[in-house]
A and B are shown apart, each in its own frame.
Chain A
Amino acid sequence: MASSIAKALDAAEMKSTNTRALSPQELAIQSDKKILYGSATDRVVRMYDAIRTYGAPRVTLERAVLFTESFKETENQPLVVRWAKALKNFGEKAPVTIFSDELIVGRPNTWLGRWGLVYPELDGSVMPAGVEMFRKNKGKPGEVVVTEEDAKIINDLLTPYWTGKDYATGFHDQLPEETRFILYGPDPKNTVLMTCVLAATSTMRHSQNWTPDFTKILNRGVKGIRAEAQAKLAALSNPRDVVYKKPFLDAVILTCDAMTAWSRRYADLARALAKKETNPTRKKELEQIAEICSWVPENPARTFYEALQAEWWGQMFNRIEQTSSAMGQGRMDQYLLPFYQKDLAEGRITKESATELFHCLWLQMAQCVEIKINPVYAAGTEGFSKYEDVVLGGQTPDGRDATNELTYLILESTRSLQITTPEPCIRIHSNTPERLLHHAAEVIKDGKGFPKLLNDEMVIPYYLANGATLQEALDWCVSGCCENRLPNRETHCIGNGGFNYGVATEMTFRNGKLKVLGDLQFGPQTGDPRTWISYDDVWAAFCKQVEHLSRHMLIQQYVAMRIEPNYFAAPATSMLHDLAMQECRDLHTHNDTFPGAIDHSCFESIGKGTAIESLAAVKHLIFDTKRLTWDELLTAIEDDWKGHEAIRQLCLNAPGYGNGIEWVDKIGWDIDRFILEFLHKNPKPNDQIFVLRSIPVTFHNPFGMVTWATPNGRPAKQYLSEGITCTQGRDTKGPTVLLESLARARVTGYREKAGELINMKFSPATVAGEEGTRRLMQIIQAWHDLKLWHIQFNIINKETLLAAQTDPDKYRNLIVRIAGYSAYFVDLTPALQAEIIARTEEQMAA
């Protein structure tokens, strides 16, 4: 009695008689339960409660103020030394605060709740506009609290000093005129708002996604790093080295001292609090915190607890030093394992106490949010994610399965709380144990969107093709949405450009002009489509537009590469990198590639599905079936479909991407190949390259805002397709066909090809029970076999999302998957909420 779901049938009608199953997350919200799954100690629940009731995140300015104070005194000194001195100023003067339930300590703010750092050296001139935006958002999703006092500090202290000195202004000013027009539009005074024809994320972060090698802090202590720097310093004799290397080594020593100074101040505070504490249990805890903070990060960690605290110090300094918008945690189940096993064997911890410590660490991370002071970037990265990727599973450098007891413990510890950190990611390979797959599928079914899965089958060959040894490739880390890192081999730390397939499509059919942006000429004049006689003409015009924009993508990236060393340094990050220590050079000096480095820049592309569908609709309707004339189509597009609904419907219902139609998917392959060939022909010096990626964050929203109607039936200003998927809701043949289409619509034979993001949404009923878990495992295994890069799942009922829109307070802890990260649904703008609701909900056929 299989029921055939006919195409003509509305899926909603089919479901009407279906009883609704709820995910554990939905159940927890319905029943007002605090712990989503498993258990958490009272202390953890109290902290969680306090953090969640604190409300919107608030800017914390101490770092910006202390950096500015120091920078004023160090002008004209080597940049890396200035950075280290600023860090030291912070370590010595920043407020130290310990809250009554904390076990892991260290924060740059003074409240228990979410906080976000600002970095005036990055975009200080934009800050007044940012303050204005945050204030306008008061009470709305995306709100960031900026108090009167905060605004005064920003406007009176930070902005005046940094205006004209910050990177964002420098980048704007140094762009060639034509590139600047594309990025910022015709107004030469506009240094803030990007057009979104392309994006330049180097102006919103000091660095591309980063994963520091924290094991150096855990295993050697900053004392060990300091000693290495000192030995190198003593051995310097070459006069050139005195100029080029000594400042870096001086900076490393200063940075080590800064970290030690800050942790010792925490030790002092803990000791003072312990003296006053009347509760004997807490007194003991505080004494232990004092002991730990006076030992790490200076010395190698001796216990599991010390290892976690040392790791947090490492994170904190990385965050204080700069923003890379991602805070990769590396392979935690690997590097923490010796500490865990030793303590377990010697009775210092239990599984339960280790879980509590993890909870404390996750809660610290959950308070640190990424705020974007530039309105365009705020729109492009909604949800405040900091991508605290905790890499689990995968393979060891000698090629064995790396899964261990800590893999399961860490994964399990991420299930309890309704927080968006950390971001567990599992490296899947052909020998991933069934048990781990099963556990992962169960956690996915909780509905928070965790863990995300990445494919060893894709990333390891990528690294091998790019000069890594097999052992290095086997040890790769996730960093960001679905980006990848070799922490000691990769050096590229400049934010990438963002390529907008939406405008490239519009420019193809509107002779290089963009209607939303004043109908100005942004691309080459590729002719009036009415004169085109075959699909080849369409394709040729599209390629010209893509190539034009691609050239400017690379130009803006070279500008960033050339100027960044004049603006940024990162001694705390660099001292954890083998190559930086070997060369005695800050990572930001990489406009001249480090010897032995993999230093790839990234070409981020967004809205590929929109382009494929548009080209396919034109091919099908104008040329293959002749159901439309150019006049009909172009007039309908020009009018944004108003008065042309029948034509829009024809476009919407034309053969679509993601539905197993070979010739349509092939267009995606053609596009991939064209861009890859372009990147292949335009490598960077020293055998380095630009890699093609499709990781949208939420840029498909602002990119769509500047794109007029497109031939796939999309109205003007609507979001573009996300990831490498088709337009939200247009895949009608189910998840198997979708994944097959996605796999077919790309080219994998280039070393320039990297991360691709896939979101999939299932209703909880579809994956209910043990049978549903098995089904999910099979989908994951097939995804692995299809050699797709990344996948993640939303397991949620549409009704829940709609309810959250009408009752945001009740659903304030509802977490949804966005793009390689999860966020609170109520923190998202209505436009993004609508996009997430529109994503296809995959059903099992009844």
Chain B
Amino acid sequence: MNSQASKGLVLNIQHFCTNDGPGIRTTVFLKFCGLRCKWCCNPESIGQKPELAYNINKCIGKKACGRCLQPPAPEGAMYVLDGSDDRIHINWDLAHGCGEETTSLCPTGALYLFGKEMTVNDVLKEVEQDGTFYRESGGGITLSGGECLLQPDFSAAILAEAHQRGINTAIETAGNVPWEFMEKVLPHVDTVLHDHKLTDPVRHKKWAGADNKRILENFKKAYETFPDKTFVARTPVIPGVNDDEEHIRSVLAFIRPHKNVVDYQLLPYHRYGEPKYRFLGKVYELEDFTPPPPEKMDHLRAIIDESFGRTAPGTTG
């Protein structure tokens, strides 16, 4: 198979990313994930197929437009309430299968499809535009998701081709995939950003939808199989879930024996993804959660700095 023509499901290609590996990076979000983290900031990335989304703020209403009220959308999938506000509402049960034929009717982009099929070459063509910025900043491409390792052939092809074109590569992974998938992709990765979400397997299952047994096995194996790769461990710090010292220390105990795990970064919980739940007709469960206070982050980071023998805070969030 011509690997440049191989296809995958891409959610979004985001430029000028500065927290997904070294330098200024372009992050390619791939669709599909095996976990169900309640704090997920990319809920649109979870499903395996393109998904309809709707931002009512952009809708100009039935009177001015109303184009989506006709086929091909199933009858009743889009509707308008009585009253002066004639903006469209969605019946998500009916609208579930709506695809590009429907979203292309929307002139404002209020109706939108998350996820589109792209070839390796399509991806590289857009990513490569930023080459000048990679050169000046030491940046490159980062595959994220979703779980990019759940499209192992596509991911491996993208990253191999990126290496061919002289571009630095990184991935963000939660590690909950068959080892063969990881083994296939990692040879083409320079920096592996990988998540240690929770220590306790039961709580991991409760908060992230699966336990962490396979994840930890994979990571350990990865550290040992790919000694020349750079690994960066990360934890999204969720208040009351994993913002305890024990978790940080247990992650340190896990990673510190491996010299190729060069850093452990803490990412404070944020709610940037919340509006997207609404756009997808989903419910955001962590309604009452707030970002951890900076002092808390400083305290936890100090533990990591000590473990890495650093005096000044060296991690970013």
Contacting residues of chain B (182-206) with chain A, CB-CB under 8 angstroms: 195
Known: A646-B67, A735-B16, A846-B272. A4 touches B11 (CB 8 A): yes
Task: Tell me the dominant secondary structure on chain B's binding face.
Answer: mixed
Interface string of A236-269 (1 = CB under 8 A from B): 0000000000000000000000000000000000
List chain B positions with a Cβ less than 8 A from chain A. 11-12, 14-20, 23-24, 26-27, 29, 41-42, 44-45, 53-55, 57-58, 60, 64-65, 67, 107-110, 112, 114, 126, 129-130, 132-133, 135-137, 142, 144, 172, 195, 234, 236, 267, 270-273, 275-276, 279, 291, 316
- B57, A10: Cβ atoms under 8 Å? yes
Pick the most buried of A1, A10, A735: most chain B CB atoms within 10 A of its CB.
A1
A-B contact pairs, 23 of them (CB 8 A): A1-B41, A2-B144, A3-B270, A4-B27, A4-B42, A4-B144, A8-B55, A8-B112, A9-B275, A14-B275, A17-B270, A736-B26, A771-B18, A778-B23, A778-B133, A781-B136, A782-B135, A782-B137, A785-B135, A844-B16, A845-B18, A846-B270, A846-B272
Given contacts A1-B41, A6-B44, 9 further A-B contacts (CB under 8 A): A1-B236, A2-B42, A8-B53, A9-B275, A646-B65, A734-B14, A782-B137, A846-B19, A846-B272
Give the top 7 A-B pairs by smallest Cβ distance, nearest first.
A734-B16, A8-B112, A649-B107, A646-B65, A778-B137, A781-B136, A650-B107
Q: What residues of chain B lie closer than 8 Å to A734, measured between beta carbons?
A: 14-16
Q: What residues of chain B lie closer than 8 Å to A646, measured between beta carbons?
A: 60, 64-65, 67, 107-108
- B109, A8: Cβ atoms under 8 Å? yes
Q: What residues of chain B lie closer than 8 Å to A843, measured between beta carbons?
A: 16
- B273, A3: Cβ atoms under 8 Å? yes
| Complex Cα gap A782–B132 (Å) | 6
| Complex Cα gap A14–B275 (Å) | 8
Closest chain-A Cβ to B287's Cβ sits at a distance in Å of 13
Which of B18, B60, B132 contacts A649 (CB under 8 A)? Answer: B60
Q: What residues of chain B lie closer than 8 Å to A846, measured between beta carbons?
A: 19, 270, 272
Q: Does A7 contact B (CB under 8 A)?
A: yes
Which of B136, B142, B275, B291 contacts A2 (CB under 8 A)? Answer: B142
Q: What residues of chain A lie closer than 8 Å to B135, measured between beta carbons?
A: 782, 785
Contacting residues of chain A (550-584) with chain B, CB-CB under 8 angstroms: none
| Complex Cα gap A2–B276 (Å) | 14
Known: A778-B23, A778-B133, A845-B17. A1 touches B60 (CB 8 A): no
Q: Does A740 contact B (CB under 8 A)?
A: yes
Pick the most buried of B24, B42, B132, B172: most chain A CB atoms within 10 A of its CB.
B132
Closest chain-A Cβ to B203's Cβ sits at a distance in Å of 18
- A1, B234: Cβ atoms under 8 Å? yes
Interface size on A, residues (CB 8 A): 40
- B129, A5: Cβ atoms under 8 Å? no
Closest Cβ neighbor of B146 among chain A residues: A4
Contacting residues of chain A (698-740) with chain B, CB-CB under 8 angstroms: 733-737, 740
Which of B14, B27, B107, B129 contacts A653 (CB under 8 A)? Answer: B107
Q: What residues of chain B lie closer than 8 Å to A352, measured between beta carbons?
A: none
Q: Does A842 contact B (CB under 8 A)?
A: yes
Known: A2-B20, A3-B273, A645-B65. A845 touches B129 (CB 8 A): no
Closest Cβ neighbor of A780 among chain B residues: B136
Contacting residues of chain A (510-567) with chain B, CB-CB under 8 angstroms: none
- B107, A17: Cβ atoms under 8 Å? no
- B109, A736: Cβ atoms under 8 Å? no
Q: What residues of chain B lie closer than 8 Å to A9, measured between beta carbons?
A: 55, 275-276, 279
Q: What residues of chain A lie closer than 8 Å to B65, measured between beta carbons?
A: 645-646, 649
- A3, B42: Cβ atoms under 8 Å? yes
Q: What residues of chain B lie closer than 8 Å to A771, measured between beta carbons?
A: 18, 316
Closest chain-A Cβ to B29's Cβ sits at a distance in Å of 4
Closest chain-B Cβ to A613's Cβ sits at a distance in Å of 16
| Complex Cα gap A7–B133 (Å) | 22
Which of B16, B27, B53 contacts A6 (CB under 8 A)? Answer: B53
| Complex Cα gap A650–B60 (Å) | 12
Q: What residues of chain A lie closer than 8 Å to B41, measured between beta carbons?
A: 1, 3-4
Q: Does A786 contact B (CB under 8 A)?
A: yes
